[in-house]
A = this chain, B = another copy of it.
Amino acid sequence: MLTQTTTIRNEAFRVVPPSPGLPPMARPACGAAGEAHSLDQAMRLMGAVMSYPRNAEIFGENEPADFIYKVVSGSVRTYKVLSDGRRQIGGFYLPGDIFGLQFGDDYALSAEAIGDTKVLVVKRSAFNALAGRNAAIAQEICAVTGRELRAMQARVLLLVKSAQERVASFLLEMAERAPASDAVELPMSRQDIADYLGLTIETVSRTLTALEAAAAIALPTSRRVMLRNRSALQRMNG
């Protein structure tokens, strides 16, 4: 983990050409030199692509928050381990999502690759300097933070609800973020979902089974969910 950080440090300013197999969003939209005009473009110009194998740590809680990340491919979970050993997941990040944005000096949570994952890494100091020069980009960052805050508020509302409501909301949330809105591929395990929703794996599993029995969803495989009756899920949402 320290080794990883060192590696990042050395590469953070070097622009790494994206590999040909990456999804469209990972490739520069235009090759213009000079200052970037969008957050997305800026990150690609300033960033380095790093690869992490399944379950690898990207950064650890309480490490200095020197970098900002954007998922290129794969997916990421942030989490915190409580003193009693329980794990609380802070969030899941899919391709295109930015994570690691911090107000404080240190990361508040740890981050891990869920499957094999590529992320764009940008040095925070360079990022902040750019934001200082470019109001449009500063605004975009503000927007990202605002979304994060709203997501957190939604999360609080979620956690006071029943198991069924939590799972239904989770599925709707993932469907909204997925490319195909009715067939959702879940990159994370049942344990990840359970730790995200504050439930046990057994309860998550049973609830999914119950939703399938109620014809609200179908489960062709355990990691693939088809939304069969979206309004039924929304009704559970409260």
Instruction: Please give the residue numbers on chain A whose beta carbons come within 8 Å of chain B beta carbons, in ascending order.
Output: 80, 82-84, 86, 88, 90, 103-104, 108, 142-143, 145-146, 148-150, 152-153, 155-157, 159-160, 198, 238
Contact = CB atoms under 8 A, between A and B. Distances in A.
Q: How many copies does the complex hold?
A: 2
A146 B152 CA distance: 13
A103 B238 contact: no
Contact of A156 (B83, B86, B88, B143): B88
A198 B155 contact: no
Given A143-B103, A149-B103, A159 B238 contact: no
B103 A146 contact: yes
A153 B153 CA distance: 9
Nearest to A155: B156
Contact of A103 (B80, B145, B159): B145
B86 A159 contact: no
Nearest to A144: B103
A160 B81 CA distance: 13
